[in-house]
Amino acid sequence: MDTKELLKKVRKIEIKTRRLSDHIFGGEYHSTFKGRGMTFSEVRQYQYGDDVRNIDWNVTARTNQPHIKVFEEERELTMMLMVDVSGSELFGTENQFKSEIVTEIAATLAFSATQNNDKIGLILFSDQVELYIPPKKGRSHVLRIIRDLIEFEPKSKQTNIVEALKFLRSVMKKKAIVFIMSDFIADDYQQTLKIAAGKHDITGIRVFDKHEASIPNLGMVQMEDEETGELMLVNTGSKTVRHNYAKFYNQKVNYYKDSFAKSGAGTLACRTDESYVKKLLGYFKTRG
């Protein structure tokens, strides 16, 4: 992809997702994810209805007029976007690949965080951490994140969520809002997730295509594993083959749901042919 085409794509995503974050998600994000607590702002004269517990007795004694301490929410937070860039994300039977939906969701979340003056960081992972962008503020930083989501080419096509979570723990010493975006066709990450969720506010966003859940009856078909590149002949006319695949897929989905539930982390499922806007809004309202 040449520079001109890349910038055009970045701009298109910015226009779409920034409009969403400005008009829809900014307030929902603010009410859903709270700051670290209340911090002292100022002292002002007492007004009828003020909480007497906030009276500043030193200033009151000095001025012979009742004054209260005013507190405001300490808003600044850090958002980490963890994005699966393995081979299975380059799949889609509708208008967009899973990776394209993930890019739009990540951009919308990033611009929502920017509206609240929060920092945003990025971790791209396959079976290793492919790219780490430390958290920073500002529009130009978000545009860099979008560029990398569009054009980054991973070294590996396989998936290892455990390695990504371990890396998160090593680089993020303070509590962060973490969104993990993947199809979660992976194993054995429950314990590592539980440890990470004990420190961070984690949400798993499962992005999937409706045709991944089952194999249609098409007779003998050559298929390629998107993560290993292995080619194989599959007899899709066999009920046993179709049943075993559906069973395998459902086991992965159930493991994802169970792992996040047991870790106290949030979950959100976005199908490529559905509106992620409605899904995100519904999730924010439930959390708020």
The tens digit of pLDDT for each residue in 254-268 reads 999 999 999 999 999
Judge whether residue 92 has pLDDT over 60.
no
Of the chain, the percentage scoring pLDDT greater than 70 comes to 85
Contact 112, 284 (CB under 8 A): no
**Highest mean pLDDT pick, 26-30, 109-113, 188-192, 241-245:** 188-192
Predicted confidence (pLDDT) per residue in 196-240, tens digit:
999 999 999 999 988 888 888 888 877 767 666 778 888 878 888
Predicted confidence (pLDDT) per residue in 133-149, tens digit:
999 998 899 999 999 99
Predicted confidence (pLDDT) per residue in 45-78, tens digit:
888 878 888 888 988 898 899 988 876 555 578 9
Terminal CA-to-CA distance of the chain, rounded, Å? 40
Contact 195, 168 (CB under 8 A): no
Please, what is the average pLDDT of the chain? 84
Fold of 3-32+76-287: Rossmann fold (3.40.50)
Predicted confidence (pLDDT) per residue in 160-192, tens digit:
999 999 999 999 988 899 999 999 999 899 999
CA distance 254 to 247: 10
pLDDT at res. 222: 78
Nearest to 105 by CA among 222, 228, 16, 28: 16
pLDDT at res. 8: 77
User: How would residue 90 be classed by pLDDT, with cut points 50, 70 and 90?
Assistant: low
Measured in residues, the chain has a length of 288
pLDDT at res. 163: 96
Domain residue ranges of the chain, discontinuous segments joined by +: 3-32+76-287, 37-74
CA distance 103 to 258: 26
